[in-house]
A and B are shown apart, each in its own frame.
Chain A
Amino acid sequence: MDEAEIARLLERVAVGDRVAFRTLYRRTSPRLYAVCLRVVHDSSRAQSALVDAYAKVWRYAERFDPADVPASTWLIAIARHNAIMRARNGAQPAPQVDAALGLAARPRETKALARLNGRLADCLARLDPSEAALVRAAYFGGVTETGLAELKGLDVAAARRTLADIARRLGACLAP
């Protein structure tokens, strides 16, 4: 995605330009659909999540400010959080941390992670492998504090402290 072009399209969408919205959809939906699919693991639910996400993009495009955030980050954040909320509100079983920690066993996931490089990859590599797996799983909605608490036999507050500690160390590593 060309960030400047997507940002220009979003600015036109913000003033109700349907042609710009359709162009934005054609250019960005393959990427957002991949995110939705990764979160909900089901084509039909991913389509619903995608439609919902673009409806939000249409309604809230005026809130997008390229000075705050790159256009692709804004779009992906909407699609990802929306898909996660739908997955958690729907009939899908609650995400299990143990399943999430089995991420590396899935060939598609392994290939995707092999393409991960840069600062985030370096910082994840500095965490314990199970902690890094937790971060990757959490990003796609596969971990909740309650789920981690159940798995580890902790109370929710302790699970929250564990995850907050991982986030703190990751944040310290990522800090410029």
Chain B
Amino acid sequence: MSVTEPDTARYALALTAPEETRALSIAILDDPELAQAVWRWERELQPLADVLRERRPPRAAEKALERLLFPGSDTRALRRARSFWRSLAMLFLALFLLVLGVFMIVLARPDLVGLG
């Protein structure tokens, strides 16, 4: 397709019709000169975006993005699960040490529990 300077401006200003936008998007990939012209317009017009006040997106957006791109790797859920199993392991270890301690005492001083 033959692309002119006004076409690249129309593309950067989002004035092109959907079919033309698609065609230009493909043409840009194959034509570095055309891409440069579009990027020049994007750079020149960017101050219009730069003056917008930044807004932190809701946390839900990041969660949706994580689910979309990395399904099954919800790091927070993984951290929660890891923390649960670590706590359970610690509890069993404490119980085991307690039982072991009692057992050692019984072995050492059976008279204390009326076995001597």
Contact = CB atoms under 8 A, between A and B. Distances in A.
Given A33-B61, A55-B65, A171 B9 contact: yes
B51 A47 contact: no
A135 B60 CA distance: 33
A16 to B, nearest CB: 11
B112 interface: no
A170 to B, nearest CB: 7
Nearest to A138: B13
Interface stretch (B41-49, B80-88, B95-103): B41-49
Contacts of B41: 171
A81 B25 CA distance: 11
Contacts of B39: 68-69, 73, 77
A160 B4 CA distance: 13
A139 B57 contact: no
A35 B49 contact: yes
The prevalent SS among residues of A at the interface is: helix
* Interface bin, chain A: 35 or more
Contacts of B62: 25, 29
A18 B14 CA distance: 31
Interface residues of B, number: 40
B5 interface: yes
B68 interface: yes
A30 interface: yes
Contact of B47 (A58, A108, A116): A116
B17 interface: yes
B13 A174 contact: no
B69 interface: yes
A54 B68 CA distance: 10
A164 interface: yes
Contact of A47 (B44, B61, B73): B61
A31 B54 contact: yes
A30 B62 CA distance: 12
Contacts of A58: 69
Interface of B: 5-6, 9-10, 13-15, 17-18, 21, 32, 35-36, 39, 41-49, 51-58, 60-62, 64-65, 68-70, 73
